[in-house]
């Protein structure tokens, strides 16, 4: 891996002749080279971001790492992370039902399945019933953001831009805030 960082202390020591030492000369050269140092810090940050973007794939672990690195500064609690999970289909779909009765009275079990006390059975749902995460391939769960820095709409747009850029074609997603 190539390092783009310029070691300013080493550069100053190389510029000072051995017979002209002295604290004032070294401090003077460091002050002259300070703009170069600030440009170098910006360059290193940009080069690291581009290296990570070049290695990006639509794998969940890479996408989570990239999004957390890119947008971690906007979180209210910096220890929280963005999590990507599969879209969940809640319950078992009910097909070919035209009853207007309350379906909660009629639990259905799979073959060989019995009701376990303390654990509710799988809920039933209509085939076309809209659920918050039922029609998406994956869900991006974001922690609470600091709205003093960026609004929720802007943050959603920024995350959506990068997810659209690296996701697999045809996959739908939704951004949820925890």
pLDDT digits (tens, 9 = 90+) for 85-102: 886 655 555 554 455 555
pTM recorded for the entire structure: 0.60
Gap between the Cα atoms of 60 and 111, Å rounded? 35
Q: Which residue has the higher pLDDT, 43 or 123?
A: 43
Domain boundaries, the chain: 1-55, 56-92+128-178
Q: Would you say 123 and 109 are in contact if contact means Cβ atoms under 8 Å apart?
A: no
Gap between the Cα atoms of 59 and 173, Å rounded? 14
Give the right CATH number for 56-92+128-178 from 3.30.300, 3.30.750, 3.40.50, 3.90.1280. 3.30.300
């Amino acid at each position: 891996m190539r390092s783009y960082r310029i070691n300013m202390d080493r550069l100053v020591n190389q510029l000072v002749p051995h017979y002209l030492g002295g604290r004032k000369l070294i401090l003077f050269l460091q002050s002259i080279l300070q703009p170069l140092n600030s440009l170098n810090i910006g360059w290193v940050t940009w080069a690291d971001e581009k290296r990570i973007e070049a290695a990006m794939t639509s794998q969940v672990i890479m996408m989570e790492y990239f999004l957390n690195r890119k947008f971690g500064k906007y979180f209210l609690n910096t220890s929280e992370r963005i999590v990507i999970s599969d879209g969940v289909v809640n319950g078992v779909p009910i097909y070919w039902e035209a009853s207007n009765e309350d379906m909660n009275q009629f639990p259905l079990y799979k073959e060989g399945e019995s009701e376990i006390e303390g654990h509710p059975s799988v809920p039933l749902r209509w085939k076309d019933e809209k659920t918050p995460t039922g029609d998406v391939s994956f869900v991006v769960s974001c922690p609470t953001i600091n709205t003093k820095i960026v609004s929720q709409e802007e943050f959603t747009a920024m995350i959506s831009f990068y997810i659209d850029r690296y996701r697999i074609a045809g996959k739908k997603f939704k951004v949820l805030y925890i």
